[in-house]
Structure 1
Amino acid sequence: MCHHHNNLPCLHCHPHSYIRMVQHLIERCLLLCMDLDACVVALAKHARIQPLVTVTVWKGLLKENRGFFHAYFRATSQHPSHYRPILKAPKFRRR
């Protein structure tokens, strides 16, 4: 039996929901123009997603969406200065 400290899906209890959540997080990384390595680091650090899970889901998305990823990699490699991942979240201070 799994005990959870949050309402996020569990890989073991709800694998379909967990994989869908990882897909959504990868899509958010893509919006920030991250490559696979940056995405793996970000999801491990901020969402506690195991790197193997992120890589596996990324490869599945790549296989299902070859055209999109081909265009994505081409666009991000042609304009590296405009497509840097945001690695640090902005800090908001109280007034």
Structure 2
Amino acid sequence: MYHNHHLGPCLLCNPRSYIRMVQHLIERCLLLHMSCDQCIKALAEHASIRPIVTLTVWRELQKENRHFFQAYFHSISPRPLMGSYIQRGPRFARRKQY
């Protein structure tokens, strides 16, 4: 089902190296401001890593780095626009003829 077609650590042969590789890939996803779901999908699609492995490593990283992930989730969460409360006129209104 999930075969490692490229040269790299094998989960069964060398689990520590494999988990370190997954951790490194997750860190790259974090640099790209991906959510957990986006990261899981990307690693499954591009690196043939099982979603359960990515999720498990993500959760362990989250446990070990609780404050980092709190700040990370805050930074990637969508924020309401401050200007949405301000009523503005048309941006390019016609000038009055004098």
TM-score by length of structure 1 reads 0.76
* Residues 20-67 of structure 1: per-residue CA shift (max 9 Å, x gap): 000000000000000010000000000000000000000000000000
1:46 maps to a residue whose letter is H
The structural deviation recorded for 1:7 is: 2.1
TM-score by length of structure 2 reads 0.74
- In structure 1, the gaps of 5 or more residues are 81-95
Q: Percent identity?
A: 64
Greater RCO structure (CA 8 Å; 6+ sep)? 1
The structural deviation recorded for 1:5 is: 4.8
Q: Give the aligned length.
A: 77
Residues 5 and 73 (structure 1), Cα distance of their counterparts in 2 relative to 1, 3 Å cut: closer
- Aligned counterparts of 1:28 and 1:6: Cα–Cα separation in 2: 19
Residues 28 and 79 (structure 1), Cα distance of their counterparts in 2 relative to 1, 3 Å cut: farther
Q: 2:35 corresponds to which residue?
A: 35
SS of corresponding position for 1:68: helix
- Aligned counterparts of 2:54 and 2:13: Cα–Cα separation in 1: 18
Moved over 4 A (4+): none
- Aligned counterparts of 2:79 and 2:30: Cα–Cα separation in 1: 15
- Alpha-carbon RMSD across the aligned residues, in angstroms, is 1.6
